[in-house]
Structure 1
Amino acid sequence: MSDGLRLLIPHHVSPDRTDDLLSALEGVVPAEHVVVADTPTESFEHAEAVEGIVTYDLDDDLLAAATNLRWIQCLSAGVDHYDLEALREREIVLTNSSGIHAEPIAEQTLCYLLMFERGLVQATRQQGRGVWERFEGGELRGKTLGVVGVGSIGTRVAELGAALGMTVVGTKRDTSERPAAVDELFAADDYHEVLRRSDYVVLAVPLTEETRGLLGGEELRLMSSDTVLVNVARGDVVDEAALTAALQNRSIRGAALDVFETEPLSADSPLWDLSNVVVTPHMAGSTPKKPERWRELLRQNYEALDAGDLEAMVNRVV
């Protein structure tokens, strides 16, 4: 084992998030081996001397400057903004934060389901207009929940749905192991069956070339007019124009959307005003428990890489 890998937290990580990371790294990495850059100039000055960078994203120029880089710890689960082939060519390990957002995203997804099932979407809009107009709510028990992408987030969504008596169907790239909460598991390419059978469809897949545009007009037409779509994956997984048309025409019942093709969502987007849409500002993964979850992830990966044991690194993408 070496005397310790040197890590950089670059300038584009916010001050508050940097404080969280420094707290998470305390006792894991020697303080003198953690460099915090407050400006772009400082990031470039320190890049050459470090073996690891802890960040959300990394532009090409900073990556090129980090000539001794061995490891990038991405602070988000999604890594679609990284040039994976360039990292492979330089033999740089990329690990993501998959799993640390599973609980908050699953809880928010459950909230979306209850909002539609109990009529709280309608109630909230009536309250905004000062209208007292009684309506009937439904029950999630007995409904079918379809989870497209049964990874760490999708599995937790399935568990919460199953706990309320929902039938859970889902897709997974590796179908050799079916999570206990999933009643039927399909291969990733068989997601059309999940769309066709579900009362609620939750998208929880990463954004890849295979999942970009996964739901377009044709796929939306497979869904029932009583189906609600929940997207906590990435905006580009869905053709937003096709989805908007489906919502306007009521060919599906509604949608809860935390992610969009362009963020922030444009002020003139019709999605803001549709009565059957819930819009949240890409915050489903937010939680005050991120630092403690990052701590364990950083500890495992730092110690494994420092020992030269790449097989022991968790959430490895490259």
Structure 2
Amino acid sequence: MTEDEPDVVVLRKSTHGTPVSEYADELRERLPDREVVHARTPEEERELVANAPVVAGMELDADLLDRAEAMELFACAYAGTGHLPLDALEDRGVAVTNASGVHGPNIGEHVVGNLLVFARRLHEGWRRQQNREWRHFKSHELQGSTVTVVGLGAIGQSVVERLQGFGVETIGVRYTPEKGGPTDEVVGFEDDAFHDALARTDYLAIACPLTETTRGLVGEAELKTLPPDAVLVNVARGPVVDTDALVWALRGHHLRGAALDVTDPEPLPEDHPLWNFENCLITPHCSGHTPEYYERLADIVAENVRRLDAGEELENRVI
């Protein structure tokens, strides 16, 4: 095809602070016989989507959808697709795929890194170095602890995989515990089962989608159930954890610490008390921000372009 009738259009919105043009370049490398075009302006988006069978991007508004008459596949660059007009896409017969799996290695490492920071109290060492204090402190060991991972999707499985060799017990929490998983034990979200797991947890890693079930999943009752020496790491979505309850737990020594890559609200206001807690480490929703993000995403989309042509089942299909 020509640029007027491209095979794949990459929409203009970037993510993770990395130019989306790099995503288009990765797709061109994998699809050398296809016309991959990066729409750089709103006008280019409106013009190019009209004849493209595949559109790739972070979001798709109603105006673009109306213009995308030839679209057969919208390849969403996020794992979550709740922000998309899914009903309208389904009515049009457009397949939708997501980016599930691209964040496994990077966010898995982020979680394990934070577990080690709190286990070895590296943040305390950094604080004393900043004050030029040569003053000893006692740390902990990750070995022998119990790590509970909420959500056993690609990220949760990546966390468990990277914990191999650390000598920890693992508990997985998922909607369908009867399916099992890579952890030593798997439980569901039922109150009794979940609280029993929390009572035995030293480190709680939250890596689940935000749903009606998981919204507010960890509140004051759950934080009271966790041992006071436990650590919480959230790389899911901010509303999975009740922020006011977390402030209460950290302020009152009901929790040893927390590492938050996501918050509620987000961004976290400058005057929020969490910024000033020495036992709370905050990163600005960037655990997935690595150069490999677009590479992994392009692998999925390029394979789906091939499958679309062959009439095969699409990877990561949502509808």
* TM-score (normalised: structure 1): 0.89
Displacement of 1:268 in angstroms is 1.3
Q: Distance in 1 between matches of 2:49 and 2:27?
A: 21
Match of 1:123 among 122, 125, 130: 125
2:157 equivalent in structure 1: 155
Give unpaired runs (5+ residues) of structure 1: none
Within the alignment, does 1:56 sit opposite 2:58 as a pair?
Answer: yes
Displacement of 1:30 in angstroms is 3.4
2:242 equivalent in structure 1: 239
2:168 equivalent in structure 1: 166
Displacement of 1:285 in angstroms is 1.3
CA 1:13–1:49: 2 relative to 1, 3 Å: farther
Within the alignment, does 1:203 sit opposite 2:206 as a pair?
Answer: yes
Q: What amino acid is the match of 1:185?
A: V
Q: Deviations over 1:131-156 (max 9, x none)?
A: 33311111111100000001111112
Q: Distance in 2 between matches of 1:51 and 1:271?
A: 46
1:6 equivalent in structure 2: 7
1:82 equivalent in structure 2: 84
Contact 1:149–1:172 (Cα < 8 Å) also in 2: yes
1:277 equivalent in structure 2: 280
Q: What amino acid is the match of 2:206?
A: L
Q: Distance in 2 between matches of 1:81 and 1:260?
A: 19
Q: Distance in 2 between matches of 1:105 and 1:132?
A: 33
CA 1:83–1:242: 2 relative to 1, 3 Å: farther
Q: What amino acid is the match of 2:143?
A: R
Q: Which has the higher contact order (CA 8 A, sep 6+)?
A: 1
Q: Distance in 2 between matches of 1:53 and 1:38?
A: 14
Q: How does 1:248-267 map to 2 (within 5 A)?
A: 248-267=251-270
Displacement of 1:56 in angstroms is 1.6
Displacement of 1:8 in angstroms is 1.4
Q: Distance in 2 between matches of 1:218 and 1:5?
A: 54
Displacement of 1:316 in angstroms is 1.5
Within the alignment, does 1:18 sit opposite 2:21 as a pair?
Answer: yes
Match of 2:196 among 193, 196, 212: 193
1:179 equivalent in structure 2: 181
* TM-score (normalised: structure 2): 0.89
Of all paired residues, the percent bearing the same amino acid is 38
SS class of match (2:265): coil
Q: Deviations over 1:166-188 (max 9, x none)?
A: 000011233344334x1001124
Runs (4 or more) in structure 1 with deviation over 6 Å come to: none
CA 1:214–1:203: 2 relative to 1, 3 Å: same
Q: Distance in 1 between matches of 2:91 and 2:197?
A: 38
1:301 equivalent in structure 2: 304
SS class of match (1:315): coil
SS class of match (1:185): strand
SS class of match (2:229): coil
Displacement of 1:12 in angstroms is 1.6
Contact 1:148–1:194 (Cα < 8 Å) also in 2: no
Q: Which moved more, 1:135-144 or 1:154-163?
A: 154-163
Please, what is the CA RMSD of the aligned residues? Answer: 2.2
Q: Deviations over 1:18-77 (max 9, x none)?
A: 223322332426343x22211112112222222222112223332333233222212222
CA 1:25–1:240: 2 relative to 1, 3 Å: farther
CA 1:23–1:161: 2 relative to 1, 3 Å: closer
Displacement of 1:5 in angstroms is 7.5
Q: Distance in 1 between matches of 2:202 and 2:134?
A: 28
Give unpaired runs (5+ residues) of structure 2: none
2:102 equivalent in structure 1: 100
Displacement of 1:117 in angstroms is 0.8
Q: Distance in 2 between matches of 1:91 and 1:280?
A: 39
Question: What is the count of residue pairs matched by the alignment?
Answer: 311
CA 1:236–1:65: 2 relative to 1, 3 Å: farther
Q: What amino acid is the match of 2:133?
A: V
Contact 1:244–1:270 (Cα < 8 Å) also in 2: yes
Displacement of 1:234 in angstroms is 1.1
Q: Which moved more, 1:170-179 or 1:51-60?
A: 170-179
Q: Which moved more, 1:250-259 or 1:9-18?
A: 9-18
CA 1:299–1:116: 2 relative to 1, 3 Å: same
